[in-house]
Amino acid sequence: MSAGNAARGAGEAAASGRSAGEGASSGTGGGKPKVLVKEKIGDSGVALLREHFDVDLGIDWSDEELAQRIGAYEGILIRSATKMTAQLIEAAERLKVIGRAGVGVDNVDVPAATARGIIVVNAPESNVITAAEHTIALLLALARNIPQAHASLTSGRWERSKFSGIEVYEKTLGIIGFGRIGQLVAHRAKGFGMKVLAFDPFVSAERYRELGVEKAGSAEEVYAAADFITIHLPKTPETIDFIDADAFSKMRDGVRVLNVARGGLIDEAALKDALDSGKLAGAAIDVFPSEPVTESPLFAYPNVVVTPHLGASTAEATDRAGYQSAEQVIAALTGGVVSTAVNIPSVGAEDMEVLAPFLPLATKLGKLAMGLAEGSSVERIEAAFMGRIAEFDTRMLTLAVVCGALQGRSEQEVNLVNAPSIAQQRGIVVASRSISEAQDLHDLIRVSVQVGAERVTVAGTGLGPARTPHLVEVYGHRFTVELEPFVTVFRYADVPGMIGRVGTIFGADGINISSAAVGRTPDGRQGATDGGLAVMVVTTDAPVPEEVLEKIVASEGFIDGRSATLT
């Protein structure tokens, strides 16, 4: 089986849960495939690999030696130090799978691997327990001044009264970001008798109820109620400095704040100011905007607890990461089910020939529908495939819709393989259907997001030889506009001058409009959800700032305006 075929087989298995085939290449000369373990992992992972393959340990190899020898291996398992660049991947003539013993794959050129038909796998669940436990450890250390008391006593001072702390019992823990780690933190905090209030608009209300956690409608609601606040968001352009000076101003006096997620989610300058003013009773920080770091103004504060990015650092997590990634490498090389691939899984070659051009459209529609959805609790994501594409295996397109909808909204990177499990963790129902007719189009994808009682629906198609993604429907109104990286949708009273008003305000704020279209409801067609309002879609070459949207929506006749980034 070629590398490309191995990737397709494993991808199909990952999407469907079926076996990927009868086996992969057995390497040169008909012997066992060769696998290189380039960085130190747990012994259990190495032992598991050796049950199936000829395994070499290259822990002490230099970059030059790795480049010279990598061509002999069908699989490689790394951690974070090895950089799998496009050049190194090109030299890996036989490579079929790259295993990353950890969560991220920032050190792997995934597009280069995908182009070569190489599967890239990781161990996304390996550190969630460890990260949750470290959060609780820091919370207790912060409440009881444990590090400070230890340092005082070991330096020869008995200062018992100085380090009196507080109980966490019946205190309110606010959680910003309620994915897998946030939910584990909530479960453990409830064991201490804490009240838990969480905010994450991309988790269903049912999931909150199952966990016995109160659902907040906004981050501000958490700020106003919590005695402790912990943040568990992914790091994206939208979440950098998520907790800033404005957020601190809305918190209760004497609050304690923790970050065991990603450096940069908390504005460090604003954090310092909040400590100086006495607004914060303390902070616990495990991650920093730039690492490693050994000097920071925060280190001087007696009420700040810091650790050097230990959230994933336990023997169990390291062993689990090695073992889980080894399992995935074995699956990729033996025709098993690859469940943590981070590059595109595949369906049948004939179906993929037709469907592949529609993958970007499906992803963009998922992002747009989620971006337009209002409320604090997403319940359901639906995808309908209409026309010619309905005759094919549309599982990949469904995965692309869900992936687009959840990207940047989970603490772990969302891909076409793990998107369904992330949705399931958050209690979001995913449904799809195929319909043979597509009204007046050859192919149509319609995506709906259910948020409480509200339902947001968008639809699109691919036009031209390259099937360039175009938006053709929002809120039941029809358009034909290319889906460019930045899309803004307005709803407003259908009176003259509204388009000009948007253009004037955009121009005054230096925002260049790429295209604009006003929607209509086709004659005799039901489904418009805006009560007769007009709908305008505007694409721009840069994001539209929230304050510009607010300025337009505040003007007479406008009902709402929302922007979505589709990159």
Active site residues: 262, 291, 309
Q: Which of 516, 497, 501 is nearest to 548 (CA)?
A: 501
Q: What is the CA radius of gyration of the chain?
A: 26
Report the length, in residues, of the chain. 567
- Alpha-carbon separation of residue 151 from 86, 164, 258, 299, 308 (angstroms): 48, 15, 21, 14, 17
Q: What is the 3-state secondary structure (H, E, C) of 489-540?
A: EEEECCCCCHHHHHHHHHHHCCCCEEEEEECECCCCCCCCCCCCCEEEEEEE
Task: Count CB-CB contacts under 10 A for residue 76.
Answer: 28
Q: Which of 183, 143, 230 is nearest to 426 (CA)?
A: 183
Q: To 10 degrees, the CA torsion angle through 119, 120, 126, 128?
A: -120
Q: Report how far residue 420's alpha carbon sits from residue 42's, in angstroms, rounded to the nearest whole number.
A: 29
Dihedral sign for Cα atoms in the order 141, 142, 144, 147: positive
Which residues are bridge partners to 175 per DSSP? 198, 230
> Could you tell me which residues come within 8 angstroms of residue 374 by beta carbon, excluding any fewer than 6 positions away?
451, 454, 456
Q: Report how far residue 217's alpha carbon sits from residue 240's, in angstroms, rounded to the nearest whole number.
A: 21
- Asked, as a colleague might, if the bond just before 292 is cis with ω within 30 of 0, I would say yes
Which residues are bridge partners to 215 per DSSP? 198
Q: Report how far residue 94's alpha carbon sits from residue 113's, in angstroms, rounded to the nearest whole number.
A: 12
Amino acid identity of 248? F
Question: Beta strand 119-121 with 477-482: parallel, antiparallel or unpaired?
Answer: unpaired
Q: Report how far residue 276's alpha carbon sits from residue 297's, in angstroms, rounded to the nearest whole number.
A: 11
C-beta of residue 172 within 8 angstroms of C-beta of residue 251: no
In terms of Cβ atoms closer than 10 Å to its own Cβ (0-12, 13-18, 19+), residue 559 is middle
